[in-house]
Structures are given as structure tokens and as C-alpha cells.
Amino acid sequence: MAAVGPNLGRVLPGSSILFLCDMQEKFRHIAYFPQIVSVAARVLKVARLLDVPAVLTEQYPAGLGPTVPELGAGGLRPVAKTCFSMVPAVQRELDTRPQLRSVLLCGIETHACILNTALDLLDRGLQVHVVVDACSSRNQVDRLVALARMRQSGAFLSTSEGLILQLVGDAAHPRFKEIQKIIKEPAQDSGLLGVFQGPNPLFR
């Protein structure tokens, strides 16, 4: 019998789902909001091309408004919630997918609903892939510490393009040309470049 290998965090379309968290009108003031929505939108486009399911939540939409249209989430039915985690609101969606192994996580705020969603998913034994260029917080210290906290707990930190290329897997894929057009332009800068320039104790 082969030895059990390390958890490498491979992402495959047939065992993955995309979580889109609370990108709503009243959160437009959050740092890098247009950029993270743009990045999340391209991840969603690729997910649709590869038949990766997606779920969309809205935090207290009566007060915080609907999902912003530029996300391009038409066709997804938003799930309203008040909990600072997506998991209770989308429990049924998770329960109906026994093949699920990986969750790709985008949205806001990193230190609140993204962090708590990641912890709840990890508790269920799922692999969590935080799309770092598609998550933000009002306060950038909160954002960066939350990313480090999730990494400490076992989540994978990935960029949108890195995850997209993992999902497609091969330039011979029949949808690769369409996906190539989506990623041809670099993802918009969401303020993380400085974090990885020089030593950073949060990411040692």
C-alpha cells in the first residue's frame, strides 16, 4: 500500500466549488473593492466555463444592499445571511455534494466572513483555497493578519491566476483558448505586492 502523501492542495473542477462572499453595494468603501470584484469576476467566468459550481451570499441585504452588478453573478441566486460565515447559510449546498474536496473563497471582509468561513470549512475536512487578490477588508492590517491566520489553520493562499491554471490543467483543454483570453490581462493590483517584498513575519 502506498504511503499517504502530504496534502498538496490540488484543485480539480469536478471536486471544487467557488464561494463568493458578500460583495455588496454598501461595501464599496472597502479598500481595493473594485479590484477584488474584478478579480472575483474573472474567477467566476472561468468557473462557469469549467462547470465548477458557485454559491453567492449577501450579508443582511436589507441594510447592506444587493451584490454589485460588476461581479457578473447573474443567474446565481444570492443566499441571505447574518452569520459571519457562509457555511450555515449554504449548508444544504455542501451536503448535496459528497464529491466536494476544495472550496475557492473570494470576497469580504477577509478578517470576518472570509476567515470564519474558512475555519468552518476546514472543520468539515475540506481544503480551502483563499484567492488572496480577491479578498479585502476595510483595514489592511486586519486583512493581512487574517490571511496569515488562515494559513496557520491550514488554508492555502493562492492567486486567482494560479488557481485558474490549476483548474484548467492543460493547454490542450478544449476551453483553454477562452480561458486564456480571460487571463491575458494581468489581474488588477489589490495592494498585496508590498507584503511580499522583503521579509514579512506574518508569512514565514
Could you give the residue numbers annotated as active site? 22, 81, 113
In the three-class reduction of DSSP (H, G, I as helix; E, B as strand; rest coil), residue 174 is classed as coil
**Residue 70 DSSP class:** G
- What DSSP designation does 89 have? T
Q: Which DSSP string do the residues of 124-188 spell out, in sequence order?
A: TT-EEEEEEEEEE-SSHHHHHHHHHHHHHHTPEEE-HHHHHHHHH--TTSTTHHHHHHHHSSPPP
The three-class DSSP label of residue 79 is strand
Residues with Cβ within 8 Å of residue 31, at least 6 apart in sequence: 136, 137, 138, 139, 140, 143, 191
Which SS3 state, helix, strand or coil, does residue 61 take?
Answer: helix
